Amino acid sequence: MTKKVDKVQLVDLLSNETTTTGSLHITPSHIIFRSDDGSREIWISTGLIGVIERGSISANGCALTIRCKHFRVISLLVPRDKTCQDLYETLRKIGEVVNVKDLPAFDIRNPQTNSGGWNRLEFSIEFSRQGVSSEWQETDINQNYAICDTYPNRLWVPTNATKNILEGSSKFRSRGRLPVLTFFYKPSSAALCRCAQPLAGFSARCVEDEKLMELIGQANSTNNNICLVDTRPLMNSFVNKVQGKGYEDVRNYNNMQFKSFDIENIHVMRNSQQKLLDACSSGRTITEYLKGIESSGWLKHLKAIVECSLFIAQSLHKGISCVVHCSDGWDRTAQTVAIAQILLDPFFRTIHGLQVLIEKDWLAFGHKFDDRCGHVGALNDEAPKEISPVFTQFLDCVYQVMTQQPRAFQYNERYLIVIHEHVYSCQYGTFLGNCESDRKDLSLSKRTNSLWTELDTRQDDFLNPFYEPFAFNEILDLDTRSSNFSVWSSLYNRFDLAAHPRENMYDSLMNSMEHVGVLESHIAAMRMKIAELRGLSASMIDSGLSSTEGVDDKLVLESPSSKESVAESELELVDDHLGRRVIRWQRLNEVYNCSSKRCMAEFSSNVERKIHCHNCGKIFCRRCVDMTSDESERICLDCAKRNQ
């Protein structure tokens, strides 16, 4: 299905005036707006369609607003009421996917030749890297997802835990999610385990579960104490007791202390984010903005998540093993254990390490990406209630940590924003499905592309120039006072260019470093050429003419004019080499579109990196530049063609 509507007007949301007239193209995978003069082209994956709003008709046309899941808002004026209604119904139908197999990821037009992204996590390799002690072992008790269909196929448990203990604990935990290892902190031999709430009610207990908790504590020979972290507000946990669930009675568990945190549920977080987005919308006064941010409670929620994560990290650092759960163990639990590992382990602060962490604690341990991101289930009345920005909050918390410790991370905020976009875009299979078993049933590794493989080709876009890899090997120190939490405007106001500096600090520094490197390489090449010319000149003076040449030729070569002509011809080669290099590069804040006349892609946000051609010094989008065959230079396609 392909649909085209002409004479559509794109409205500038800042000035609320019509700025561009063009055509709207709707395909199964993308919505495309293309201006009539070719100056603007906007592509939006259909997976990013959030809310479609149809306004009233006016003299200028009928208003249609597309609110996207990556926080872009497209406001259009459609010439006729009937055309607008048709567009509205078409876009709603595209955005309301019922079958996961209808998502764009399954329509692969360019299959990846390298499928390494699907093998990013191997539990045995990862736990070996962590240095897991002999007190822990791999078990196949969940083979074919026998005791828990939302857990990984292979689990790590205390060595002395028998099959009866594991099965008994699984039956006592919500969704069968028994306590299992997710991280081993080698410096103190403390373990971080995760699970779901117990089915305890007001009086129920489970001997097998109590024994498993005891074995988790005993797995650390230096400290048998264990801390049970319930991420939910205590009142919420108590309400769950009425439903036969709730929290552990520490009187039944040996050497256990209990700690509760006030991280709210998915419904509160969904409403909080909507209030945040309303506050960040254009046209508000400073007073309205600040009141909106405060009433949203978003920063308060981030603070609660980070404080809980810091407590877990500090406990492990002190040698106290922790078991963490919320209700079902796939939302708040995933957030806090993942942030705690980032605080403790420098590996998870690298580009590759963050991918492993997401694969482990979000994908393998069953965060429900389909439900939480609204990938599918639009015809189910309960589906909208399952949507919640849980993973967005996790990325926001990582960003908050990065702002306090900018030199501790290999990646920059662009990396987090790109991951966030593609969680929702559904162009890759990485974040489809609710758990590992879902992804196997869908054969995603064979039928879709991996986001990680794509990001591997763009690693230079995500590098942090301030990164010091060996300076932060201990637990990261954080200040969790409220004043240290701020709105992540690069994400929530990503497409509002007026809200950002004209030059991104990271990009400016990386650009300067790259430019210096190119100039130094150029200087080195010139020095080599000068040395060659000096050697040629000395050779001509010292040796005169070859013995095979005649006297007349010798006279010609020894004449001053002849020597000068030879030198001039060599210098012309140097000049030609210089002529293909521009010393001054275009400034980042002076360019708004790709310099390729065939492309002219708009840099609609700071996430789209502006890339310089090492040859002509102009700025291009990533699609219009490539590396030379020897990987030494990045040049635009036009210069590459001229140099052939």
Edge to edge, the sheet with strand 190-194 lists: 180-185, 190-194, 321-325, 226-230, 256-260
Q: What is the DSSP code string of 114-176?
A: --GGGGS--HHHHHHHHT--TTEEEE-TTGGGSS-TTS-SSEEEETT--HHHHHHHHHHBGGG
Query: How far is 393 from 269, CA to CA, in rounded Å?
Result: 9
The two tokens of residue 607 are: 């996430």
Residue 48's alpha-carbon distances to 13, 163, 216, in angstroms, are 19, 44, 42
DSSP symbols for 572-618: HHHHHHHHT--SSPPPGGG--B-S-TTT--B--STTS--EE-TTT--
d(CA 616, CA 640): 11
DSSP 99: S
Contact 305, 336 (CB under 8 A): yes
| CA 120 to each of CA 115, 368, 459: distance values in angstroms, whole numbers, following the listed order | 10, 20, 15
Q: Residues 340, 348: contact at Cβ < 8 Å?
A: no
Q: Measure the CA dihedral 17/18/20/25, to 10°.
A: 120
Adjacent-strand bridge partners of 11: 18
Which residues have a catalytic role annotated? Answer: 326
The count of other CB atoms within 10 Å of the CB of residue 111 is 10
Nearest to 462 by CA among 427, 510, 415: 415
Q: Choose among 131, 127, 174: nearest CA to 154.
A: 127
Pairing status of strand 256-260 against strand 226-230: parallel
Alpha carbon separation from 263 to 138, 301, 519 (Å, rounded): 32, 7, 52
d(CA 644, CA 640): 6
Instruction: Give the DSSP H or E segment for 521.
Output: helix 505-543
User: Can you tell me which residue has the tokens 């309960």?
Assistant: 382
Among residues 350, 351, 591, 323, the alpha carbon closest in space to that of 455 is found at: 351
Sheet holding 30-35, edge to edge: 41-45, 30-35, 17-26, 3-12, 73-78, 61-68, 49-58
For residue 518, the one-letter residue type is V
Q: Pick from 581, 411, 420: which is nearest to 490 by CA?
A: 420
Return the amino acid letter for 86. D
Query: What is d(CA 388, CA 356) in angstroms, rounded to the nearest whole number?
Result: 23
Residue burial 579-592, b: 16+ Cβ < 10 Å; e: rest: eebeeebbebeeee
Question: What secondary structure letter does DSSP report for 485?
Answer: -
